[in-house]
Amino acid sequence: MINVEVLTPRKIELQTEALCLILPTLMGELSILPKHVPLISVLRAGKMKIKTKEKEIAFEIEGGILEFSNDKAVILLKNFYI
């Protein structure tokens, strides 16, 4: 499982455990599964998906930054809309 934190300048918007993340990056869509190599990536505007055991959460983002290491994803966004 991947521990996911979605942060904005206001607060922690979402904390969950995910099976998979699908994120829009400057180089195209990026899928992250558990045990992915550590990375930092700039996110572009587009649709972000978080797949959990129970459901899939999808929302539009305006861009941001992703940091992933040790099965933890920290996603920094300017705004957050579900």
Q: Where are the domains of the chain?
A: 2-77
Integer angstrom CA distances of residue 41 from 4, 30, 54, 55: 15, 10, 27, 25
pTM (2 decimals)?
0.88
Mean pLDDT of 6-27: 93
Predicted pLDDT of residue 79: 78
Q: Residue 26: helix, strand or coil by DSSP?
A: coil
Predicted pLDDT of residue 4: 97
Q: State how far the Cα of 51 lies from the Cα of 23, in Å rounded to an integer.
A: 11
Assign domain 2-77 to its CATH architecture: Sandwich (2.60)
Predicted pLDDT of residue 82: 65
Contacting residues for 19 by C-beta, under 8 A, at least 6 apart: 1, 2, 33, 34, 51, 52, 53
Parallel, antiparallel or unpaired: strands 20-25 and 2-7 = unpaired
Query: Using one digit for the tens of pLDDT, what is the confidence trace for 38-82?
Result: 999 999 999 999 999 999 999 899 999 999 999 999 999 987 766
